[in-house]
């Protein structure tokens, strides 16, 4: 929904991971996300139904200014700032089995 958010995430993950933005408005988005076989998904302000529950999901709500993490079908609010680097760190932590800082 927010192009600047996508640009910020691309910059934060540069040299660390491949980022593939997918629009939730795309009717084929769920199939496209599945085709990528993501280790983690970062979703900004929309329904997380696009991402299978087996995939860890970082939900960023820019309006409410909060970040939540879904792991094993359980949501936990993360006490992190709303910066691209903090969001990246949550995603990297979940991939490597750590706890979000």
Q: SS3 of 67, please?
A: strand
Contact 58, 43 (CB under 8 A): yes
Asked if residues 89 and 11 have their Cβ atoms less than 8 Å apart, the reply is no
Q: Tokens 């993501």, residue? A: 38
Q: Measured at the alpha carbon of residue 3, what is the angle toward residues 63 and 62, in degrees to the nearest 5? A: 10
pLDDT tens digits for 45-96?
Answer: 777 788 888 999 999 999 999 999 998 888 999 999 999 999 999 999 999 8
Q: Can you give the pTM of this predicted structure?
A: 0.88
């Amino acid at each position: 929904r927010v192009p600047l958010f996508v640009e910020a995430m691309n910059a934060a993950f540069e040299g660390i991971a491949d980022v593939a933005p997918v629009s939730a408005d795309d009717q084929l988005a769920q199939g496209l996300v599945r085709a990528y076989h993501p280790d983690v998904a970062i979703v900004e302000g929309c329904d997380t139904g696009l991402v299978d529950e087996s995939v860890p999901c970082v939900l960023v709500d820019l309006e409410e200014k909060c970040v939540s993490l879904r792991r094993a079908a359980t949501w936990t609010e993360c006490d992190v700032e709303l910066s691209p680097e903090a969001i990246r760190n949550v995603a990297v932590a979940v991939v490597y089995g750590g706890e979000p800082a």
